[in-house]
Every structure is written in C-alpha cells, then in structure tokens.
Chain A
Amino acid sequence: MANQKIKHRLAKDKLMLWTICIFATLTAVPLFAILGEVLLRGYSQLSWSFFTEPTPTAYKAMKAIEAGEPIPGGIANGIVGTMIILSMAVVVAVPVGILCGTFLAENRKKRFAKIVSYLTDLVQGIPSVIIGIITYIWIVVPMKGYSAIAGSVALCIMMLPLIIRSTEETLKILPASLKEAGLALGGNKARVMMKVQLPAAFGGIFTGVLLAISRVIGETAPLMFTALGCSFIRWSINKPISAVPLLIWEFFNDPHLQELIWGASLFLLIFVLTLNLTAKYLAKKWNQ
C-alpha cells in the first residue's frame, strides 16, 4: 500500500517535470523561428559593400531591379549614425546612471532616495514613442532641426533607468563586510566606494550597461522624432542623421528598397544578440 503511494507520487513528479520541460522548450521556439527567418532572408544580402556604402536612391535601386542585378549600396549611413547617437548617449548615461545608482544603494532609507527610485521605475515604463515626442519638443524645436544630439538625448533617457537599477542592485548585493572592512581601515565613504565597492560591482554594472545598449539600439520610434534619417554617411552631430532601425522602416516604405530590409534586420539582430551574450558571459564570469 505504502509502495503504491510512493509510485503515485513519483509518477506525478515525472509528469510535472515533463510539463515544465515542454513549456520551457516552447518559449525558445519564437527566438529560433525569428532567427531562422531573418537569417534565411538576410544572409544573401550581406556583402562587404553592404557595410561600407550608403543607401541607394530609389532610382538606382529601380534600375538595378530592372536590369536583374542585386541592389547596390548598403546601410553604412545607418551604422555610422547608430554609432554616433549611441556613443553620445552612453557617454552621458553611464556616469550619471552609476552616480545615481550609487546614491540609491547608499541611502536606501532616505525618503528622497525612495522617491527617486520610484521615479526611475516610472521612466522605465514610459513608452518610447512618448520619449521621442517629448525630446522633439525639448530639443528638436529649440534647436530648429532634427539632429544626432536629439536622438542621443532620447536614447539616453531610455538607458538611464536600466543603468541606475543595475548599479543599485549590484551594490546592494555586495556583502556588507566589504564596505565595513574598507571603512574599518580608516577610509572615508567616497574612497571606499571608489576603491572597494564600485570595483567589486564592476561586472554587474558593465553587464547592465551592455543590456541598456542592446535595449535601445533597436529603438525606432524615438529616433523618428529626433534623428529623422539621412540618405548619406554623415558625421556631424547637429544635423539629421540615419540609424539602422530607421533604415529598416524606410526600406519597408519604399517598394524598390524592400530587399535591403532583411540584411539590415540581420545586422541589428546579430549585434543585439552578441551584446546580450557578452553581458551574460560577463555576469557569469563575475559570479565565480
């Protein structure tokens, strides 16, 4: 009788296990389906010129299609634009985010810190299209024109909460003994933070920064209101500029350029996945 009961329980256990495994596999299906689709459609467009030449005009593309040749040109203008917008956003968001996260981790019980922490969560929840339109009002209108600067402001706002959170969380999980040991040696709070706590938290913070970048690099809506787009490679920061996600949207709207969609998507997807995997790898390495 007792034996029967145990068998029953073991069977239930197995059933549970299988159910969980099946559902876990199901969640991975969309990822591989998307990857497969984009790879299949996109890989044939990838070539050296795809990364070094700017977008072709619709006329050139039309001629190429009529002649039965592959569409000339590529997404270099988008890659350059994305890099410019992103690096400006990172240069501002990383120091500000880390300082703010440090403040939140060190002053958990202060009312002000609680309010800031709450607001950070709210900012994270703001739809990106709204951040785009707000940046348009704040930056594009006063500057009298679309620009890379405006684009980077929008992305910076989106990155900040992620960097603040990861800094705060990483600092919070450091053992208290680390900070106490530093202070017990006579260091002041700032020195202990700079020499002991932040270095110890570096892995987590860096992972957070990478994830923040991968989160915003594909953002399209805020850039439509701010960077606008540009059909040639441009290095100035106060003029309209292109970005890879903007190009995908442009290609979609132009019947002659649609073939370029998949190459651009593949590039963006691989870039984001690489960032994510690097972040995961670093986080794992750091925890050892």
Chain B
Amino acid sequence: MESIIPILEFKKTCVSYTKQTMAVKYVSAAIERNTITAIMGPSGCGKSTLLRAVNLMHNLYSNIRVDGEILLNGENILLMEPIDVRRRVGMVFQRPAPFPTMSIYDNVLAGFALNGIHLSKSKKDEIVESNLKNVVLWDEVKDVLNKKGTFLSGGQQQRLCIARALAMKPDILLMDEPTSALDPIATKRIEELLLELQKKVTILVVTHNMGQAKRISSRSMFMYLGELVEYGDTETMFSNPEHERTKAYLIGKIG
C-alpha cells in the first residue's frame, strides 16, 4: 500500500507574497521515492518558493500565503505543526550555513540539540561519524572535529550542512541551489555525493544550472512564471521536450 502513496505530492499548490500576485500557481506533481528530482527554470519562476513551501519556511513571514495541499506520505503538511514537518524534511541552503559558534562535531548534532534530544556520548560519536562518512567528509575532518564549522572550505561546509540535515534522518531532502556558491570541483563532489545519497533519501533540488539537472536528476520539473510547465523523466525532457517554452529554455532562448 505504502509504495502507491508518493513520498511527496503537490496538489494545486499556490504561494503568494501579495494579494494580487502569485509566485507559484496551481502546481500539481508527485515526487517519486529515492530519486533526485530537479526543479529548473529561469530566475523568479518560483522554483525556490515552491521548494521552501515543503518545509513550511513561508510560515516565518506573515505576508506569504500557501494554498492547496502538499502531502508528505499522504498527510497534508500545511495542517501540521512546522517543527514536526521540519524534522522530517531536511533542507540545504544556497550558501553553506554551518552554525558559526559550533564545532564541526556539534554542527552535525545541531538538529538534536535544537530539538532538545539528549544523546549519550557514544551515540553522538556514532551519529557524527556515520553522517560525515555519508557525505564523504569524515576522512578530511576526523582530526579537527573540534574546530569551528566555518574553518572548512565552502564545499566542505556544504557537505557538513548536508550531513547535519541527514543526521535527523529526514524522509526528504530539499536543496536550494546547493552548488551555486561553490567552485566547479566542489560542485562535482557534491553532485557525486547526491547520486550516492538518493539510495537513502529522496532529494528535491532547485537548480538553474541545466547541466546539473541533466547530470544528477532522474526526474525534472520545468517552471516558468510560477507555473509548472512540464514534469517528466529528465532524459525525455532534455531530448524531446513536450512544450515550446521548455524547449526555448533548454536551447537558451528564455531564461
């Protein structure tokens, strides 16, 4: 039964910043378990806005309205407590944001500290080690775990942030242009990491880098002016886009 329910489903999801204008218009789409789904589109098309709706980030700002439904394992998250939702939905931001006052070790465990969960020392060590190994950072930082998170390079910081999100064992990981602040080598490492991670967690990644979408995602959404224009297999979309606008974007006419 469970396999039939998609892990995440948008149903006529709308997001508006002001009463007159909608940033995301009636998006409906179901995300498949253990895949990487890319959300593409030009700047201002609403892709980040859609992503941030999934962990209720919009609740922080009183002017933003989210309508429709967003189902996480069949439950409408818009009716759930934000802290409950956010524990099950991890997020990685555009700029690496390790907590500057915390050590690398404490950064991985930040989710537990912020949820008031107390762990034994051995349990902590285990979580830190396994999650840093998950993001292929363990070998680089195992001797400097007590240094501040900001001591690391940008790419390492971003992997630390991914480890921090994964430590909470989320059902789904949201990534908002996770490599746009990184150099090409760091980007490549993150992409390889994501391909590996999809075995464990469903990933929804916003990118305006078409190459990246092509390289890592199995499914792609193309958004334009707040609407979901096309959603399908990445390969099909790139080789044979259904819509004129998708085609125009992919060949660089719009965007």
Contacts and interface: CB of A to CB of B under 8 A. Distances in A.
Interface of A: 109, 175, 177-178, 180-188, 191-192, 195-196, 199-200, 202
B254 interface: no
A195 B113 CA distance: 8
Nearest to A110: B62
B60 A186 contact: no
Interface of B: 55, 57, 60, 62, 82-84, 86-87, 89-91, 93-95, 97, 99-102, 110-111, 113-116, 161, 164-165, 168
Contacts of A192: 114
Contact of B99 (A181, A183, A202): A181
B165 A177 contact: no
A102 B168 CA distance: 28
B221 to A, nearest CB: 21
Given A180-B91, A184-B91, 15 more contacts: A175-B97, A177-B95, A182-B110, A182-B114, A183-B86, A184-B55, A184-B86, A185-B86, A185-B87, A185-B114, A187-B115, A195-B110, A196-B101, A199-B102, A202-B101
Given A185-B86, A186-B86, A180 B60 contact: yes
A188 B100 contact: no
B65 to A, nearest CB: 16
A2 to B, nearest CB: 41
Given A192-B114, A196-B114, A200-B101, A186 B83 contact: yes
A113 to B, nearest CB: 13
A183 B87 contact: no
Contact of A200 (B60, B91, B95, B99): B99
Nearest to B106: A195
A196 B161 CA distance: 14
Contacts of B95: 175, 177
Contacts of A184: 55, 57, 86, 89-91, 93, 165
**Secondary structure type dominating chain A contacts:** helix
A177 B83 CA distance: 17
Contact of B114 (A178, A195, A199): A195
Pick from B84, B86, B114 the residue with the most CB of A within 10 Å: B114
Nearest to A178: B97
A139 to B, nearest CB: 39
B114 A191 contact: yes
Given A183-B86, A185-B168, A200 B100 contact: yes
Given A109-B62, A177-B93, A181-B93, A186 B101 contact: no
Given A109-B62, A186-B86, A200-B99, A181 B115 contact: no
Nearest to A196: B99
A116 B16 CA distance: 31
What are the 9 tightest A-B residue pairs by CB atom distance, in nearest-first order?
A: A187-B114, A186-B87, A199-B101, A184-B91, A185-B111, A186-B86, A181-B97, A177-B97, A191-B114
A200 B100 CA distance: 6
Contact of A183 (B60, B84, B100): B60
Given A192-B114, A196-B114, A182 B83 contact: no
A183 to B, nearest CB: 6
A181 B86 contact: no
A180 B94 CA distance: 12
A181 B168 contact: no
Contacts of A199: 99, 101-102
Contacts of A195: 99, 110, 113-114
Nearest to B111: A185
A195 B100 CA distance: 11
A191 B99 contact: no
